[in-house]
Amino acid sequence: MALAGSLKEFGLADILQLIFYQKKSGALTLKSRFDMVRVLFNEGNIVTAESAKRRVEGRLGRVLLRKGVVTAEALKAAMAEHKKTRKKLGHILIEHNLVTREEIQRVLTDQITELVVQLFGWKEGSYEFTPGAVPLDRAIPLSVDTQGLMMESLRIFDEWSVFQGKIEQGSVLTRTQKKPQGLSKDQTELLGYVDGKNDVHKVAALYGMDAFQTAKALVELMDMGLVENRLPVSGMEAEEVLEELEPVHIPGLSIIVSLIVIAALALSVVVMSRAGMNVNSFKAAEAVDTLRYKVEAEKADTGYYPRSLKDADPWGHLYVYETTGDGFVLYSAGPDGRAGTADDIY
């Protein structure tokens, strides 16, 4: 089944129902001007979902830490092992008896639900469903009933109407000049993630709470006069410009003057080169996912993983690919072409 088109013409609910009732396996990729989300299905049910803007590993650790399931020290050690071995964080935590498989499954299921809720808020974008076998995580198996998840997502999405006129899922917020007083520890932490660049879902990921509860807490800060809307809900292109300029800091300027300076910088060759690099990073992340399916498909057909890959990333470097005892490692070495550095892309 070839399925691709515009979300304006064929809505997300219709797409999910079609995949569910036909019990299809494969990858559904949804793209908008502010994010890319990939949802994997096995016989019609969702097995995982991930956003290009919010990776699973860091979010999983933050949620477990906020819930008090793991300590900061244990999480730090597990994250270090994750970066060194490329094992999934959930596997590491289970192997060290820091969490149960059921705890990981609950958190991951909640993350999938939240991401699908966000998708129902997309007014435009494109979709493409690629049928085929998908890699299943046998250590932490997930199979979320697509029909039930869709109904739950629609219910939660409807709850967002209580924030109408104040905050929506795409809102980007900033702090006001008012000095915070009498805040709780949690409110102080949450306020620290409001920087004029992070949207509600990014703040929620950093805060370690679901987006709805985070939005509720942000509205409380708005009512206290500490937070306000930085950009219009529909102005996601402006958010992307701000993200491109993240390394630039201009202290002491008013918001209006800062925006003027940002607009001027956006016209410069320097910023254009940065934007190009960001697009390449996005392409590399998408290609890594596609190559993973290619590798898994060959294993399913032949019983063996391919010995090597000859595919090059947007910077002309071969993707890093190595087989391990029970699987494989695959990623881009990023712009610098050196594996194991901060700009690696998985």
Task: Quick: pLDDT tens for 113-162.
Answer: 888 887 887 778 899 998 888 878 888 888 888 988 888 877 777 777 77
- Please tell me whether residues 19 and 126 are part of one structural domain: yes
Residue 69 lies in a domain: yes
Domain endpoint, select from 114, 145, 161: 161
Cα–Cα distance for residue pair 322/337, rounded to 1 Å: 16
Which of the residue ranges 61-70, 186-195, 279-288 would you say has the lowest mean pLDDT?
279-288
Task: Indicate whether 19 and 31 sit together in one domain.
Answer: yes
Where does 199-291 show beta strands of DSSP type E?
Answer: 227-231
Both 142 and 13 in one domain: the answer is yes
Mean pLDDT over the full length of the chain? 76
Phi, psi for residue 332 in degrees, rounded to 5: -95, 140
Asked, for residue 129, whether it belongs to a domain, the answer is yes
pLDDT digits (tens, 9 = 90+) for 60-103: 777 787 778 888 888 888 888 888 887 888 888 888 898 888 98
If asked whether residues 69 and 178 sit together in one domain, one would say no
Closest C-alpha among 134, 127, 140, 145 to residue 42: 134
Would you say residue 342 lies in a domain?
A: no
Helix (H, G, I), strand (E, B) or coil at 22: coil
Task: Report d(CA 46, CA 65) in Å as an integer.
Answer: 26
- Domain match, 60 and 204 both: no
The total of structural domains in the chain comes to 3
More confident residue, 278 or 197: 197
Looking at residue 271, what is its pLDDT? 37
Considering the domain architecture, whether residues 256 and 276 belong to the same structural domain is answered as no
Residues 100 and 216 in one domain: no
Residue 143 Cα distances to 25, 38, 41, 102, 299, angstroms: 12, 15, 8, 13, 22
Is the domain of 284 the same as that of 296? yes
Is the residue at 337 inside a domain? no
110 located within any domain: yes
Indicate yes or no: pTM above 0.75.
no
- 118 with 13, same domain? yes
Q: End of a domain among 95, 130, 161?
A: 161
Domain finish residue from 267, 285, 306:
267
Structural domain harbouring 191:
164-267
Do 206 and 153 lie in one domain? The reply is: no
